[in-house]
Structure 1
């Protein structure tokens, strides 16, 4: 049964489901937040207003993602390519997300590449790359 604590993150479920599926049996837990360590480091290698470059710890990661759903509702995540290295301790994933910017109704389609380090069957470190210009254009577009 899904954890009711995660209901607030419904808008991000396509992303969470894609990540959980990409990691399969390499990690333990059902939901994205179940498969990260308590002291996870989530690092983004882009500057984007309102999103910190480094998020440390599961509680802060949960707080940051809670706000994501206030701005963008994801409809899907796809085009997954997973590269497992170092006996599954490092996974590189490429994928796309598709959604709508809630304030304007503008469509949001972006590409990502994430490098994930796994320790003791949990995500210990995440390094993320995305097309920042696509995100900026979608979030700053005028309502149509």
Structure 2
């Protein structure tokens, strides 16, 4: 859902919308950044240049995503599978994103599995797994002529 408050993050909107939809009525807030705690931990279990392995807090996560949207524009996010566990306090989502690396105009397609821990109807902890080879291939392909 477009929100002027988060307009700078529009290139990641398909991802944000997919996550918000996956969590449905388990969380409160309209946008991805509204459904995370102030002290959230966002952990990625892979190495991508320019993206920290662990991000702590909403403001640092917003700064990290600012770098993301300056480099990748997503056109869609799909293939969502949602697994709710622990009475809805833990949600595992599997999904794909499709976009473009802005510097090279190379297509970017990737698969993810994210484990989300909720606390007081907000995301308190996020652990992310992805197809690292897909990211590497997209990020290291030379600019198209």
Quickly name the TM-score band, shorter chain normalised. over 0.9
Deviation at 1:2, TM superposition (A): 5.1
What is residue 104 of structure 2 aligned with on the other side? 104
Counterpart CA distance in 1 for 2:137 and 2:80 is: 23
Relative to the length of structure 2, the TM-score reads 0.97
**Range with greater deviation from structure 2 (25-34 or 45-54):** 45-54
Q: Secondary structure at the match of 2:70?
A: helix
Deviation at 1:3, TM superposition (A): 3.9
Counterpart CA distance in 1 for 2:142 and 2:40 is: 36
What is residue 64 of structure 2 aligned with on the other side? 64
How many residue pairs get matched? 144
Deviation at 1:102, TM superposition (A): 0.6
Counterpart CA distance in 2 for 1:6 and 1:96 is: 22
Deviation at 1:131, TM superposition (A): 0.7
Match runs of 1:26-105 below 5 Å: 26-105=26-105
**Cα root mean square deviation, aligned:** 1.0
